[in-house]
Amino acid sequence: MRRVIFNQKGGVGKTTIACNLAAINAHLGRRTLVVDLDPQSNSTHYLLGKPPEELSATLADFFDQTISVRFSRKPLSEFIMATPWPGLDILPAHPELESMQDKLLARHKIYKLRDGLNKLEDYQDVFMDTPPAMNFFTQSALIAADRCIIPFDCDDFARRALYGLMEAVEELREDHNPNLRVEGILVNQFQANARLPQRLVAELEDEGQPMLKTRLSPSVKVRESHDAYKPLIHLDPKHKLTGEFLALYQELHPSTAGA
């Protein structure tokens, strides 16, 4: 299964969600790959504990070879790195991705990620972290994915933007990837005792939006996890937020309930 975590709004927890779901997946014994498509490279830094500038090969190098005049090109597997946790690997990002977009678009390289992932045989599941924009890299991820999870923070501006985002994903599905499905809208930073979040979520549910049942609470533990370069399942398995991520994982994978 390939999942992309996407929202055009920044600061909604895409990196935290992608990396923590992937870490749980690997912890439960499934070979897992994280693909970091964001030039900010936050997933890369989070899971490797080092900035992308220190890496010898990244996703930028993979895309660069698709637009250079070379007779031999390395497969996507050559750009993957192991993380400190068994079963969890990452295809790291690099800030240079930002400057490559126009050239990649002009040369119609939008299917290269999908084609590269199709040739990988070592992974049971792939989680893709995307930039906060419907750009080349996000489109590449959506074209390569089976499912899309949309993080949502509870404010009215985010709700208005959500409708346009859903339309954009549906248009891409119709034009490029008929197998893509929005798996659900994930409410992040949910304050259960506040009226506005409760009202917004209830209204979205009444509209028939594909809301996931699990809610993720705000917690300083997320910052601690980032600072330690350690996903929550490894940092503090018994923390409330870790439990919520486990509940989310089980909602997405009902067969793992009770694992």
pLDDT digits (tens, 9 = 90+) for 217-233: 999 999 999 999 999 99
Average pLDDT, whole number, for the chain?
Answer: 94
Between 38-47, 117-126, 199-208, the lowest mean confidence (pLDDT) is in 199-208
Q: Phi/psi at 12 (nearest 5 deg)?
A: -100, 5
The larger pLDDT score, comparing residue 71 to residue 196, is at 196
pLDDT at residue 257 in the model: 60
> Each residue of 77-96: pLDDT tens digit?
999 999 999 999 999 999 99
Q: What is the pLDDT of residues 2-45, one digit of tens each?
A: 999 999 888 889 999 999 999 999 999 999 999 999 999 999 99
DSSP-assigned beta bridge partners for residue 182: 148
Residues 34, 61: contact at Cβ < 8 Å? Answer: no
What domains can be seen in the chain, in order of their start residue?
Answer: 9-253 (3.40.50.300)
pLDDT of 194 above 90: no
Token readout for 224 is: 């601690």
| pLDDT at position 176 over 70 | yes
% of residues, the chain, pLDDT over 70: 98
- Residue 125: the pLDDT is 98
pLDDT of residue 258: 55
Question: Which residue has tokens 């994280």?
Answer: 34
pLDDT at 151 over 90: yes
pLDDT of residue 108: 94
Confidence of residue 195 (pLDDT cuts 50, 70, 90): confident
Q: What is the pTM of this model?
A: 0.95
Q: What is the pLDDT of residue 72?
A: 77
pLDDT digits (tens, 9 = 90+) for 55-65: 999 999 999 99
The pLDDT of 230-241, averaged and rounded, is 98
**Beta-strand (E) ranges in 95-232?**
125-129, 147-153, 181-188, 211-215
pLDDT of res. 68: 79
Q: Which tokens belong to 86?
A: 């068994």
Q: Contact, 152 vs 12, CB < 8 A? A: yes
Give the whole-angstrom CA distance, residue 44 versus residue 50: 8
Q: How far apart are CA 93 and CA 55, in angstroms?
A: 10
- Tokens matching residue 110: 């939008």
Asked if pLDDT for residue 256 goes beyond 90, the answer is: no
Predicted pLDDT of residue 71:
62
Report which of 108, 96, 86, 124 is spatially closest to residue 36, judged by C-alpha positions: 96
| Mean pLDDT value across residues 236-259 | 90
